[in-house]
A and B are shown apart, each in its own frame.
Chain A
């Protein structure tokens, strides 16, 4: 019955890591601005696509990925500055719709420039699978997990040790007071978009050697990341990362044990079930305020 379970676990965690990074991107922007950024998936796509393009242009792989990730982070900042800030104090719903517009635009531009083909990226250190328990693990899976952990660790340090990280948290929990401390809420919003661009692109770039990439991978990855973020409890960074991993594993088990035809459906079925039972997500406590 459980034959293949370790295998599914490993592949689930690998994909889940990218969902988790995408979900973290959602969380980051939601916490500082209250917006759900539906262009988040496009950052993931940009991370993969730009890496491919830059590699083809002759950059060595690590450099290509680094540059791709930085470009995506820049794209995030640019997005905030160009289309979110000018709208100013519009209702979050309007801003959310703007982000959907941005995602369609980005997807269209990438398709026009680089076409509808699917692209691959070489694995970071060979493709010879390693044996681990009963599972054969691609070295790339280890890279994905290691880099994800590294990014999570760095984020944790950023938020708990640096004044800028704390300032971002302050914006998230009490925006008005943050402004009164002299924290520029606008700059923090831009920074959060840049950071989400960075996180999404890292997820996209490290996953591409396994799952390939094309102009439209962002749609599904973005939705899954969003699902992960709701699963973990919207606004909770730890929940977002955990939600991503859980979602990836569930999906992989569902595909392995039930049917791979419904692979994409599992994520959303689980999400729906959870929302019926616990609308605040797995790690989101009930909202209560002391007055």
Chain B
């Protein structure tokens, strides 16, 4: 569904991502893990059109979208839930969700949009309770739900989730990851999940890629990665060789 081929991305003179190739198949949940500054967010920004890659190709759903503007990419069915959630704080929860459907406004029948709104509320009932509240008054976990709900309102086929667990209490975090699984089961969504917390990401993902200083250094099935010594040492805070 999404294929990246030899992507190079730079900020001015600094090359943040080098020759990254990866793919996500339809219906898969794929984790992209790596430390702070490894280039994970940069990579997502390039996929969703916020940044232009210097070289390489992004193919989504059979179309080359490498230099598409963000609105075109959203229209094709690829929604990006940004790092730190970035909800529209002064606007109400309902307005945030409405803006999620901006690209479909006037093109999709009202009834379909209402249905989608209902299904977002069904998934995150707390959002319905707080529909009239400014988004800035929600807790971190609720804001994350809102950010996901807002992305769902665009009617995507695939979600890019950037650090959904950042700054959340472990139980809230687990709840969010459970919702990610639910999204795939109920809607058949494909997900590319970016996380620093490798353990919880690999627990829900089918496969994973490990990014270090802008390069993919490892890839494989989640179970393999979890068992991998380098991954354990670098991202799971465990060093088997020392334990022994």
Contacts and interface: CB of A to CB of B under 8 A. Distances in A.
Contact of A166 (B70, B98, B151): B98
Given A177-B82, A183-B71, A291-B167, A163 B89 contact: no
Nearest to B147: A177
Nearest to B84: A291
A149 to B, nearest CB: 24
B80 A180 contact: yes
Contacts of B75: 182
A182 B74 contact: yes
B209 to A, nearest CB: 22
Nearest to A183: B102
A170 B99 contact: yes
B95 to A, nearest CB: 5
B88 A169 contact: yes
A181 B86 contact: no
Given A169-B88, A173-B91, A174-B86, A181 B99 contact: yes
Nearest to B49: A179
A167 B99 contact: yes
Given A163-B102, A177-B88, A180-B80, 10 more contacts: A163-B99, A169-B88, A170-B99, A173-B91, A174-B86, A178-B88, A180-B86, A180-B151, A182-B74, A183-B102
Interface of A: 163, 166-167, 169-170, 173-174, 176-184, 290-291
B88 A180 contact: no
B69 A184 contact: yes
A31 to B, nearest CB: 11
A173 B91 CA distance: 9
A180 B48 CA distance: 7
Contacts of A180: 48, 50, 70, 74, 79-80, 82, 86, 151
Given A180-B74, A181-B100, A183-B99, A170 B88 contact: yes
Given A166-B98, A167-B99, A176-B82, A182 B89 contact: no
A163 B74 CA distance: 17
B33 interface: no
19 contacts: A163-B102, A167-B99, A169-B90, A170-B88, A173-B91, A176-B86, A177-B86, A177-B87, A177-B88, A179-B70, A180-B48, A180-B70, A181-B102, A181-B154, A182-B70, A182-B75, A183-B71, A183-B102, A290-B136
B105 interface: yes
B71 A174 contact: no
Contacts of A174: 86-89
Nearest to B90: A173
Nearest to A169: B91
B10 interface: no
A68 to B, nearest CB: 31
A167 B88 CA distance: 10
Given A163-B105, A170-B99, A290-B136, A182 B154 contact: yes
A41 B88 CA distance: 31
Interface in B66-124: 69-71, 74-75, 79-80, 82, 86-91, 95, 98-100, 102-103, 105
A93 to B, nearest CB: 19
The range of chain B's interface size is: 20 to 34
Contacts of A176: 50, 82, 86
Given A180-B79, A184-B71, A173 B89 contact: yes
B150 interface: yes
A229 to B, nearest CB: 18
A182 B88 CA distance: 14
Given A163-B99, A181-B150, A170 B91 contact: yes
A183 B72 CA distance: 10
Nearest to A171: B88
Interface in B29-78: 48, 50, 69-71, 74-75
B167 to A, nearest CB: 7
Nearest to A291: B167
Contacts of A182: 70-71, 74-75, 102-103, 154
Interface string B119-155: 0000000000000000010000000000000110010
- Considering the complex of A and B, which 7 residue pairs feature the smallest CB-CB distances, nearest first? A182-B103, A182-B74, A177-B86, A182-B71, A179-B70, A170-B88, A174-B86
A224 B48 CA distance: 42
B69 to A, nearest CB: 7
A173 B50 CA distance: 17
Given A166-B91, A169-B90, A174-B89, A179 B99 contact: no
A188 to B, nearest CB: 11
B166 to A, nearest CB: 10
A284 B88 CA distance: 19
